[in-house]
Amino acid sequence: MNTKVQVRPGMLVPSGVSHRFAANLFLRVLERLEHGKVFWADASGSRAFGHDGGLVAQVEIRDPSFYRRVLVGGPLEAARMYIEGGWDCSDLTALFRIVLHNESVRAGLGAKTPWLVRAARKLQHLLRSNTKSGSRANIGAHYDLGNDLFRLFLDSTLSYSSAFFEHPNQSLEHASLAKLDRLCRKLELNAQDHLVEIGTGWGGLAIHAAENYGCRVTTTTISKEQYDLAVARIAERGLSDRVTVLLKDYRDLEGQFSKLVSVEMIEAVGDKFLPGYFAKCSDLLVPGGKAAIQAITIPERRIEAARANIEFSQVYIFPGSEIPTISQLVDVPARHSRLDVLGIEDLTPHYAETLRLWAVNFERNLSLVRAIGYSEAFTRMWRYYLHYCEAAFRERHNGVVQVVYTKRWERA
C-alpha cells in the first residue's frame, strides 16, 4: 500500500522577486472576478473579491511563497501548495466553481506559467503512455493504494463510478445499485448471456449481473488489489461458478461474448489506443451483440487545451489518463470497429452528487483514514481531488455518459 504523496519542491522563481510584488500581481488578477465572491486572507490582512449573490469561499494563505510559486507554476502549483498545507479554504467545491465561472481569472493566472514548465509536464505525461506495461504502472499507482481506503468513502457495492439517483433523497448505495441495474437493462441481460467486463473494479457490476440476471460473467482487471478483493467478494456470494475474474490486460482477452460492459475504464486507455480498444470490444462481441460503456467525457470546446496542458488529476490521481470527447466515443468505433451507437444518456449531474457524498464519507471517516497510515499530505490531496472533481461535473467542465452499441453483422 502506497500511503505517501510525492510533493516536489515549488517551482523556482527569480530570487529578486519579492513575495509582496508577486502577491500584488496575483491579487490584481483576482480583481477581475465577476462571478461569485472570495474572501482572501494572508499575513498582510483580509480583502474580498467579486460580488454578492452567488457562490462564496474563504481562502487563507499560510505560506508567503504561495504567490511566487503559483504565478510560475499555475494551477498545479496551487494544488501542490494545498497538499503541503500552504493554504486552506472553507469550501473547496465553491472555490473551484468560482474559478470555472471566471475565464479571465483562469486565463490571467495560466498565462504566467512559462512554456518550459508546461512542456516538462507534458513530457512527463507522455512518458506515462498506456502501453501494456505503462497501463499496469498507471493503474497500480491509483487502484493499488489499498482497498481499505476505498471502503472508507465508497458505498457497500464498492462502485467507484457515477451513481444514478432516481430521486433526490436516494442513498448512495441505492443510487449505485440503480446505476448497475440501468446498465444491465440497457444490455437486455438474461440468463443465456455471457457478459464480458473490461475493468472489474471490486466486482460490483459482475456480482449484480450474475445475481439478478443469472448470466455468466468474465471480468478483467490489471489491479492486483482489485483482483484479490473481487475474487473474495464473488466467492462470499457463492458466485464463483458463474463469475470468472481475470488479471489480464483487455488487449489480451480472447473469445466471443453476447454482451460487453465497461464502466469508467476508457479514461485509462488514452487517445492513441482508442482505435485498438474499440476494435477489441468489437472482436469480443458476437454479431448482434450489445455493449454498454460508461465514460467520463470532456467537452469538445476544451479538447485542444486539455491535450496541450496537464491537469491535477493526471499528476496526482490518474497518471496516464486522457478523457475522451463524446465525438470520439461515436467516431472512433465507427471508423475502427463494427460497433454502431444505439443511444447516449447523460449522467453528469449524478456524478456531481456522487462525488459530494464520497467527500462527506471521506471526512466522516478521516480519523480511520489516518489510523490506517495515510499521511496528512495524502488526506489533503484526496480532499482536493474529490472537491475538484465535484466542481468540474457541477459546471460541466467534464461530463459522464452511458453509450450503448451494437455490433453489425457485416462490415459496412
Q: What is the pLDDT of residues 69-123, one digit of tens each?
A: 998 888 889 999 999 999 999 999 999 999 999 988 888 776 555 544 555 444 4
The answer to whether residue 301 is domain-embedded is yes
The answer to whether residue 9 is domain-embedded is no
Shared domain for 147 and 49, answered yes or no, is: no
Q: Name residue 48's beta-bridge partners.
A: 39
Q: What is the CATH number of the domain that holds 62?
A: 3.30.1050
Cα 127 to Cα 343: distance, rounded to the nearest angstrom: 35
Cα 224 to Cα 206: distance, rounded to the nearest angstrom: 17
| Domain endpoint, select from 47, 81, 113 | 113
Task: Please report the pLDDT score of residue 71 as a whole number.
Answer: 87
Q: Name residue 261's beta-bridge partners.
A: 197, 292
Shared domain for 86 and 153, answered yes or no, is: no
Shared domain for 266 and 344, answered yes or no, is: yes
> What integer is the mean pLDDT of 386-390?
97
> What integer is the mean pLDDT of 312-319?
78
Average predicted confidence (pLDDT) for the chain: 89
Residue, of 5 and 215, whose pLDDT is higher: 215
Measured N-to-C along each axis, helices 103-110 and 92-101 cross at an angle, to the nearest 10 degrees, of 90
CA distances to 129, 240, 260, 353 from 309, in Å: 15, 44, 33, 27
Lowest-pLDDT choice from 44-48, 218-222, 253-257, 301-305 = 301-305
> What integer is the mean pLDDT of 54-61?
97
Among residues of the chain, what percentage have pLDDT more than 70? 86
Number of helices and strands (H, E) in the chain? 17, 11
Task: Please report the pLDDT score of residue 73 as a whole number.
Answer: 83
Q: What is the CATH number of the domain that holds 187?
A: 3.40.50.150
In this model, does residue 57 exceed pLDDT 70? yes
Shared domain for 340 and 400, answered yes or no, is: yes
Task: Please report the pLDDT score of residue 129 as a whole number.
Answer: 54
Shared domain for 198 and 313, answered yes or no, is: yes
| Domain endpoint, select from 50, 79, 113 | 113
Shared domain for 311 and 398, answered yes or no, is: yes
Shared domain for 283 and 382, answered yes or no, is: yes
Task: Please report the pLDDT score of residue 314 as a whole number.
Answer: 76
> What integer is the mean pLDDT of 161-186?
98
The answer to whether residue 351 is domain-embedded is yes
Closest CA to 311 of 397, 236, 410: 397
pLDDT tens digit sequence for 256-312: 999 999 999 999 898 989 999 999 999 999 999 999 999 999 999 988 887 777 788
Shared domain for 194 and 283, answered yes or no, is: yes
In this model, does residue 9 exceed pLDDT 70? no
> What integer is the mean pLDDT of 194-215?
98
Shared domain for 214 and 286, answered yes or no, is: yes
Q: What domain range is 97 assigned to?
A: 19-113
Q: Specify whether 389 is catalytic.
A: yes
Shared domain for 85 and 54, answered yes or no, is: yes
Q: How many CA atoms lie within 13 A of 299 on its CB side?
A: 9
> What integer is the mean pLDDT of 217-223?
96
Catalytic residue among 184, 215, 281, 389: 389
Shared domain for 186 and 63, answered yes or no, is: no
Closest CA to 213 of 275, 172, 261: 261
In this model, does residue 403 exceed pLDDT 80? yes
Task: Please report the pLDDT score of residue 131 as a whole number.
Answer: 65
Shared domain for 107 and 227, answered yes or no, is: no
Residue, of 140 and 211, whose pLDDT is higher: 211
Task: Please report the pLDDT score of residue 116 as a whole number.
Answer: 47
- Where does the pLDDT of residue 7 fall: very low under 50, low under 70, confident under 90, or very high at 90 and above? very low
Q: In what order do the strands lie in the sheet with 87-89?
A: 45-50, 37-42, 56-61, 87-89
| Domain endpoint, select from 83, 113, 143 | 113
In this model, does residue 3 exceed pLDDT 60? no
Measured N-to-C along each axis, helices 348-364 and 376-394 cross at an angle, to the nearest 10 degrees, of 160
Task: Please report the pLDDT score of residue 13 as a whole number.
Answer: 43
In this model, does residue 190 exceed pLDDT 90? yes
Q: Name residue 354's beta-bridge partners.
A: none
The total number of structural domains that make up the chain: 2
Task: Please report the pLDDT score of residue 132 as a whole number.
Answer: 59
Residue, of 147 and 403, whose pLDDT is higher: 403
pLDDT tens digit sequence for 237-246: 999 999 999 9
Task: Please report the pLDDT score of residue 258 as a whole number.
Answer: 99
> What integer is the mean pLDDT of 370-385?
94
The answer to whether residue 393 is domain-embedded is yes
